[in-house]
Amino acid sequence: MNENDLVVAYDNLPASVLRIEVHYGRDKLRHIEKQYNTDAPLDLLWLLMQESKPRICKLVEKCYPDLEYRSYEACLDAIEHSHFSEQTQSNMRTLVTQMQRKQTIDAALGWMENRGIQTNGLLQKFSKIGVSPIPLRQGYAAKRMPSLPEILQTIGEKPVRVALSWWK
């Protein structure tokens, strides 16, 4: 962004911008050359441009779970309506509560483990109910936000719509 003079103050942006990059090293590029039997730079560039969406989506899905973000209250409601044991639900509620205070999942899980709270498999439980353990901030205008993989999958197909509970 610096090299292309794309850095601007957040407050000056007219609309939000989502930018995702994939960097391939020499080994990966050689693998692609062999796979497609070409080493012509323009052919490779064209190929990567044509395959950019599935390649980016595949990599993003490895890093970010396809779980929707909900308000704190909606997260607790989803947990309460799950089929998990009361102890598991309690641990899930604790994680959601800690994610209001902590900057990372690792920090929240570490805090819980330091207090003897069981965290093994907790993130998988959230996957089963389809909700992220990271709640939307209090007072957020939307009740639900799509996951990053969901946003990327819909690019070029349909606009991503976020229903606002009140106008900002």
In tens digits, the chain (168 residues) has pLDDT values of 566 666 655 545 556 667 788 889 999 999 999 999 999 989 999 999 999 999 999 999 988 889 999 999 999 999 999 999 999 999 999 999 999 999 999 999 999 999 999 999 999 999 999 999 999 988 888 888 889 998 888 887 777 777 676 555
C-alpha dihedral (73, 75, 76, 79), degrees to nearest 10: 160
Contacts 24+ apart (CB under 8 A), 54-63: 55/22, 56/20, 56/22, 56/152, 57/149, 57/152, 57/153, 59/22, 60/20, 60/148, 60/149, 60/152, 61/149
- Is residue 166 assigned to a domain? no
The answer, as to whether pTM is greater than 0.75, is no
Residue range(s) defining the domain that contains residue 116? 69-154
Same domain flag for 74 and 150: yes
Same domain, 141 and 83: yes
